[in-house]
């Protein structure tokens, strides 16, 4: 367990259909969020427990004031080898130079369409030009850009091949994710029309010369490359859950709720632990003890889970 996904806010300025309802969700009040000091304490605690990579997530992280000073301090934590960031790229422009100074170069961008009209339909916001401008700037300034596209059978199938062409032209990683039932609605979808197998079959019609690439054992993505492609692409079986056996992720929400499996609804309130234990060793013990209750895989977790929260609240 060496990878922590740490959410700093559940607020978002987009309303993507697979993530939340059009009117939004009940975002946390300011006083419910972990303070930057509490987030830093948690980060140090998890690093002391063996975490080597922290991904900062949201909502949209850049909506929260004080993010960059926090990242500057986090980047100096001994033992932390990698800090990465997930964003919708609407507000990152003014922070690019500061991210360079912190040596934060790994940026995941949620982008489900290269078509301006479909982008608006999916996100319910008119900011396509801003997002694409920031994507191109990040690429040109040497950031390691990953584009995450959630494949929705009735929304953006036409975007799969254009996104592959984008990876053909630029040094980016495009990853196609199976849609998951985490949009904040009470009723979850029972049938996945476009699983990772169907996505791959669709791509192979247009790119028959695909070469599968080796990946780390903890990778959630199966990666591929075609002849002459500058970048690479991958598929993530997020609903099929083929990677549960090697999962190394822990998730902590902006309110301090630790979730050991994306499909579990049970959480451990780390804010309570921080208030209960006055020293780092006691907090470490509390987290370690809580991790022992982790389900074997996502299917087992789902059996014991009720209605899923919005992805904005989970942190991705």
Helix residue ranges per DSSP H, 222-269? none
Task: State the Cα–Cα distance between residues 206 and 187, nearest whole angstrom.
Answer: 35
Task: State the Cα–Cα distance between residues 259 and 308, nearest whole angstrom.
Answer: 12
Helix, coil or strand: residue 47: helix
Task: State the Cα–Cα distance between residues 281 and 150, nearest whole angstrom.
Answer: 40
Q: Given this model, what pLDDT does residue 19 score?
A: 79
Contact 12, 88 (CB under 8 A): yes
CB atoms within 10 A of CB 139: 17
Q: What is the mean pLDDT of each run of 10 residues along the chain (316 residues)?
A: 93 86 70 94 93 96 97 97 97 97 97 96 96 98 97 92 97 93 52 88 94 89 94 88 71 89 73 73 77 61 55 54
Report pTM.
0.87
- Contacts of range 159-164, beta carbons closer than 8 Å, 24 or more positions apart: 159/112, 159/113, 159/114, 159/115, 159/118, 160/199, 160/202, 160/203, 161/203, 161/206, 162/114, 162/115, 163/114, 163/233, 164/203, 164/206, 164/207, 164/226, 164/233
Phi-psi region of 112 (alpha: psi -120 to 50; beta: other; left: phi over 0): alpha
Quote the CATH superfamily of domain 3-314.
Aldolase class I (3.20.20.70)
């Amino acid at each position: 367990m060496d990878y922590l996904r740490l959410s700093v806010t559940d607020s978002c300025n987009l309303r993507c259909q697979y993530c939340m309802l059009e009117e939004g969700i009940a975002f946390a009040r300011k006083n419910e969020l972990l303070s930057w000091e509490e987030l830093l304490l948690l980060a140090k605690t998890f690093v002391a427990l063996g975490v080597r990579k922290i991904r900062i997530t949201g909502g949209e992280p850049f909506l929260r004031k004080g993010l960059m000073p926090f990242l500057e301090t986090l980047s100096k934590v001994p033992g932390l080898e990698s800090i990465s960031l997930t964003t919708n790229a609407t507000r990152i422009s003014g922070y690019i130079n500061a991210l360079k100074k912190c040596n934060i170069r790994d940026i995941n961008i949620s982008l489900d369409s290269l078509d301006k009209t479909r982008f608006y339909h999916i996100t319910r916001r008119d900011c396509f030009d801003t997002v694409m401008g920031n994507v191109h700037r990040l690429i040109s300034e040497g950031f390691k850009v990953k584009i995450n596209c959630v494949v929705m059978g009735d929304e953006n199938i036409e975007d799969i091949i254009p996104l592959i062409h984008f990876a053909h032209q630029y040094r980016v990683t495009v990853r196609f994710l199976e849609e998951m039932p985490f949009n904040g609605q009470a009723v979850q979808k029972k049938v996945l029309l476009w699983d990772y197998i169907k996505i791959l079959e669709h791509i192979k019609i247009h790119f028959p010369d695909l070469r599968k690439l080796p990946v780390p054992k903890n990778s959630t993505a199966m990666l591929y490359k075609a002849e002459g492609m500058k970048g690479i692409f991958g598929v993530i079986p997020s609903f099929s859950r083929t990677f549960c056996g090697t999962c190394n992720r822990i998730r902590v929400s902006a309110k301090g709720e630790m979730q050991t499996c994306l499909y579990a609804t049970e959480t451990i309130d780390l804010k309570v632990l921080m208030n209960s234990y006055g020293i780092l060793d006691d907090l470490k013990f509390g987290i370690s003890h809580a991790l022992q209750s982790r389900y074997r895989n996502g299917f087992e977790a789902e059996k014991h889970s009720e209605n899923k929260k919005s992805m904005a609240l989970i942190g991705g």
